[in-house]
Chains A and B, each alone.
Chain A
Amino acid sequence: MVDMKYVAPSTIDEAVGAILAANGTGRILAGGTDLLVQMRLGTAKPGVIVDVKNIPEMMRIEETAGGFRIGAAVSGAIIGEHPALGKAWPGVVEAINLIGSKQIQGRASAGGNLCNASPAADSVPALVAAAATVTIQGPKGRREIPVETLHAGPGRTTLQPGEIVVGFTLPARPLGSGDAYLRLIPRTEMDIAVVGCGVSLIVANGTCTAARVGLGAVAPTVLLVEAAGKALIGSRLDDKALEAAAAACRAACKPIDDKRGTVQYRTKIAGVLLKRAAAIAAERAGAR
């Protein structure tokens, strides 16, 4: 029976101040689709809830010299309706739009998905593949980090006390680029990824010139599998290159046996999804 305070500041500075003042009991509220569930389960008991949905910078999508800046609290539904973003980064958008259901999409944000720090978070492997960077603001000002360095372990991030994720930056897309995200779930929806795989490629004259692969749910954090990217770069995305990249994904897996899947199954599926996601990304790269 603790008292709980709710604030909804309109600037990031105020939000940082409120979180700091809460002395470790503060929690950011974006869509609340993780936080409110945890509160109902009793696993989260915040003293101060800092709702960031009144902060304009965190609620908008901007186009910047070919790239995009996405506010951390923008909902999946809004992201899904952004025409230019969906054209440039279809894999990132499909990953964010896979989160939950229509109702969840109306609230859930990519910032919340990232900061909740689940190894199975759907948007993160796609953001990792996309080489997204994260803008963070805290008591010491702003900093910018690669998205794959934000997770520290299940439920833990590298955010320092008082730090808030403001948004993501996605780079500009040259001609011949494509990305894709696939996840495996036992059912067709309303489930948590047993494995998630994001692939981003640039293809010139049939040869892959850049590739990044993000893997989810196979380790304590979402992984950037550099070896898988390397196996694809320079290839014509032929079966041999895809199998090499799949092998790199399998090798990168450090999964656990749990109620959602076995080590053996997760490892196998990481390779399967790599091949399938790479094929979709390649097709998208050719299609533009």
Chain B
Amino acid sequence: MSKQTYKWIGTRPDRPDGADKVTGRARFGADFNMPGQLVGKVLRSPHAHARIRSIDTSAAEALPGVKAVVTSKDFPEQANLIVPTGEMQVNLRDVTRNVMAREKVLYESHAVAAVAATTDAIASAALALIKVEYDVLPHVIDVTEAMQEGAPILHDHLITDGVEPRPTKASNIAKRIDNAKGDIDAGFAEAEVVIERSYTTQPVHQGYIEPHATLASASEDGQIQLWSTTQGHFQVRGFCSRLLNIELSQIRVTPTEIGGGFGGKTVVYLEPLAVRLSQKSGKPVKMVMSRDEVFRASGPAPGATVRVKIGAKRDGRIVAADCTIAMQAGAFPGSPIGPACWTSFACYDIANVRVVGYDVVSNRPKVAAYRAPGAPISAWGVESTLDILAQELRMDPIDLRLKNAAKKGTKTSYGPTFDTIGFVETLEAAKSSAHYRSKVKPGMARGVAAGFWFNVGADSSAAAHVAEDGTVTIISGNPDIGGSRASLALMAAEELGIDYDKVRPVIADTSSIGFNFVTGGSRVTFATGLAVVNSVRDMVRELKGRAAKTWGVDVEGVIWENGQAKPAGSNVGVFEPLTLAQLAATAGKTGGPINGHAQLNVQGAGPGFGVHIVDLAVDQETAIVTIDRYTAVQDVGTAIHPSYVEGQLQGGAVQGIGWALNEEYIYNAKGKLENAGFLDYRIPVASDLPMIETILVEVPNPTHPYGVRGVGEVPIVPPLATMGNAIARATGVRMTDLPMSPPRLSAALDAAMPRAAAE
């Protein structure tokens, strides 16, 4: 595809939500209030695993100021039914148990009851008055231990799926998945070099700055209004409808501005509780999680064990690749084991592949999506192993990847065959980058790794309205977590041929626009962008009709160009062009308001590939890692708003660096989380990092009118191995366990140099 020239696409105007965010006017989840509202709070389990014998709420209910108390009795039982939420699937039977424990508590801080009271202090006092009797059960935190015979069983009904013959005994392994291509044994027989290693990763939290928050108001006539900080208000509506048996049209959910989600806000925790408390008390109920609750009870990304075996010819051609992943799902089945498996070798064109995955429950909070769910975990194993292979073969790590890179026509191990993709272009851009061509400074080492994400499409609705003065409102239904309003407005301005400033994008509540799937899967600029483009085209069709009517010509005789209706040719007649403003001014006489609509299920999301490069130093005495330079290279389709694309690459890289270096969940022997706060759950701080450099490789997605590919998830996939590969080259010690925190890396360095350590 030749490079298009655009007027608006590719420019960098201020985002429509920018001014309110920097001045503090923007309203986030906890900023919404109603007259007479109550404070809702949750009582949480002190145990990692226990049977609930009884719950006595009478003393709490008797406390003056307490207006409602709910327990699992207030939520109907749910069928064993799997529904999609963003990039992951959940079972309604489990969701209702996750928002409010029923027979058992399955992790520390699992919700067991909730209260609504007139003040925060009364709500806290009421929680202390609720008496819960528990039979404490043995618990299991570690994924390998959870898979062992004799491990404490979380769910008596859980029989491993995907295994023949079907097991008869319950276990913590919810399912096994397999995908394969070619003949793995023949592949390894052909190999001249075989590298095999086992890796582990720790669970990591999405680390959004804004805690979960909601305000619910149930009216006497059954209508429900909800304000929620979420990545998918239609999913909030759907879950509340299911979990509370309320018709969808009775529930109206308004998404607030969102202070980060990264996948973690695609599920519900507080909303069903707030609605039930509001129904019971007859008052609006507001609930806001503390940071402590966010860490203990909202979904992290899973930890996992990953075993990778790769066989290659001496010239670097990979002939066989094998990978086994066991992934923590948390307390209920449903880790992103599928995507972890499918992405594992997706970057490469390999004839013989076998991937096996296990979804394993343990006494931890249920995992939720986090940027490219699962993919960073398998990439940590695969890309580290490839680096060992490159060292073994004395090959440049980018050349090794170029030799095996997937291209248009490559068939993946999980089924699809790639259309136009940009992995080769991305590798080449990395190789010819100023960073990669620079000499590695003394005392530093360089690491490289790649990553892949599918990106998704799915359901979107959009509308475009022309106001009486010819300015335009774009209405869509996806919470904006990464600058999508700016991108939607840019595409609308491009399509209409009017200024970006004349287009106002808004995000409508669930009752004001048709259904939209969650903001996730890097789908909004792609899929909702397409809905916006189509709604504008629908509007342009209408505009051309109005011009035709004005001129008394056939609509085929009218074209739309630069924001104006014009005659298609001299045979149509001679007419002065009609601007959008002119057509809007006369709309009343030509047929009424001018609007456009579109709704579609979007297919053909373009996969994305990234290659990251880091230069870093390791202090041999303290094992502190200092990053000197970091570059993220990615094929981004078309960068609609390059600044926000760069921001996605930078943010993903930083989150991946945190995952690699310091982030982990630390449980004590009782199964309680010891580091439920940002002091001891260490995400990177600004001074830890250089400016992350970005290189945008634009390989347009052929299925989108502007070539859009999702960009938000790919950048968290390569950093783990990028860091590990550089650390290995800096120290000679290959780290296989994350995080590579100073104590852990120091111990590994000492173990590798026993004499130096003993001195």
Q: Which residues of A contact B (CB under 8 A)?
A: 1, 184, 186-192, 194, 258-262, 264-265, 268-269, 272
Total contacts A-B at CB 8 Å: 56
- Say yes or no: B624 contacts A192, CB within 8 Å: no
CB contact under 8 A between A272 and B682, given known A262-B747, A265-B743: no
CB contacts (< 8 Å) of B687 on chain A: these are: 187-189
- Say yes or no: A184 contacts B624, CB within 8 Å: yes
Q: Which residues of B contact A (CB under 8 A)?
A: 121-122, 125, 621-622, 624, 661-662, 666, 674-675, 679-680, 682, 684-685, 687-688, 741-743, 746-747, 750, 757
Most chain-B CB neighbours within 10 Å: which of A186, A194, A260, A268? A186
- Say yes or no: A268 contacts B680, CB within 8 Å: no
- Say yes or no: B674 contacts A259, CB within 8 Å: yes
- Say yes or no: A265 contacts B685, CB within 8 Å: no
- Say yes or no: B742 contacts A186, CB within 8 Å: yes
Most chain-B CB neighbours within 10 Å: which of A1, A259, A272? A259
CB contacts (< 8 Å) of A191 on chain B: these are: 679, 682
- Say yes or no: A186 contacts B747, CB within 8 Å: no
* A247–chain B nearest beta-carbon distance, Å: 10
CB contact under 8 A between A259 and B624, given known A187-B685, A265-B747: no
- Say yes or no: B621 contacts A190, CB within 8 Å: no
* A196–chain B nearest beta-carbon distance, Å: 13
Q: List 10 A-B contacts (CB under 8 A).
A: A184-B742, A186-B624, A186-B662, A192-B680, A194-B743, A259-B675, A261-B743, A264-B746, A265-B747, A269-B622
Most chain-A CB neighbours within 10 Å: which of B121, B624, B666, B743? B743
- Say yes or no: B682 contacts A186, CB within 8 Å: yes
CB contacts (< 8 Å) of A259 on chain B: these are: 666, 674-675, 680
CB contacts (< 8 Å) of B684 on chain A: these are: 187
CB contact under 8 A between A187 and B688, given known A265-B743, A265-B747: yes
Give the distance in Å from the alpha carbon of A162 to the alpha carbon of B142 in the complex: 49
Give the distance in Å from the alpha carbon of A22 to the alpha carbon of B661 in the complex: 47
* B669–chain A nearest beta-carbon distance, Å: 12
10 pairs of A and B residues whose beta carbons are closest in the complex: A265-B743, A188-B687, A272-B621, A259-B666, A262-B743, A259-B675, A1-B121, A259-B674, A259-B680, A188-B688
- Say yes or no: A272 contacts B743, CB within 8 Å: no
CB contacts (< 8 Å) of B680 on chain A: these are: 192, 259-260
CB contacts (< 8 Å) of B661 on chain A: these are: 186
CB contacts (< 8 Å) of B125 on chain A: these are: 1
Most chain-A CB neighbours within 10 Å: which of B661, B666, B687, B742? B742
Give the distance in Å from the alpha carbon of A183 to the alpha carbon of B674 in the complex: 23
CB contacts (< 8 Å) of B675 on chain A: these are: 259
CB contacts (< 8 Å) of A194 on chain B: these are: 742-743
CB contact under 8 A between A264 and B622, given known A188-B687, A189-B687: no
Q: Which of A1, A188, A192, A264 contacts B679 (CB 8 A)?
A: A192
* B613–chain A nearest beta-carbon distance, Å: 22
- Say yes or no: A264 contacts B685, CB within 8 Å: no
Give the distance in Å from the alpha carbon of A261 to the alpha carbon of B680 in the complex: 11
Q: Which of A1, A187, A190, A268 contacts B746 (CB 8 A)?
A: A268
CB contacts (< 8 Å) of A186 on chain B: these are: 624, 661-662, 682, 741-742
Give the distance in Å from the alpha carbon of A184 to the alpha carbon of B661 in the complex: 15
Q: Which residue of A lies closest to B125 (CB)?
A: A1
Q: Which residue of B lies closest to A272 (CB)?
A: B621
Q: Which residue of A lies closest to B626 (CB)?
A: A188
Give the distance in Å from the alpha carbon of A271 to the alpha carbon of B658 in the complex: 27
CB contacts (< 8 Å) of B624 on chain A: these are: 184, 186
